[in-house]
Amino acid sequence: MNDSLTKNARRIQDAIEKRGFDFIVRELPQSTRTAADAAKAIGCEVGQIAKSLIFKDLDTENPLLAVVSGANQVDTDKLAAVGAGHPATADAKFARASSGFSIGGIPPFGHRQTIRTFIDEDLLRFDRIWAAAGTPNAVFEMDPSALLPLTLGVICELKRD
């Protein structure tokens, strides 16, 4: 257990443990705000970074979460086709209000409210992936198969061609 974690990183470490996993949150001296920054700081492929992106369903005004490989961009038409309503990119204020975290540190779970989650199938091709853990320099490593039980999301094709 790392008792020196900041408040938001500790929140994610506690959420990991509460869900029965043993992934360890690490706070790095370098920024992990972008997928490229995170891959450089960790020493992995950009595709191994699980970016958590908040969208807004324009039909319901509800948040949606796409957990996407760092090498990919989200195709909102594909997101809509898997039941996400009418998704649009959310601004920073909406993302923070919905998730409880700032852009660049949004984790794939542990949000302020329940958020419908869609998982990029490309993440499953890796043995290990890294995700944000509540701050722009906190991450944790995981087996991508854990995304489903952690998020209760839907695995689907999201990559923009």
pLDDT tens-place string over residues 59-113: 999 999 999 999 999 999 999 999 999 999 999 999 999 999 999 999 999 999 9
Per-domain residue ranges of the chain: 7-156
CATH superfamily entry for domain 7-156: YbaK/aminoacyl-tRNA synthetase-associated domain (3.90.960.10)
pTM for the model stands at: 0.95
* Per-residue b or e along 26-54, where b marks 16 or more CB atoms closer than 10 Å to that residue's CB: bbeeeebbbbebbbebbebebbbbbbbbb
Query: Tens digit of pLDDT for each residue in 117-150?
Result: 999 999 999 999 999 999 999 999 999 999 999 9
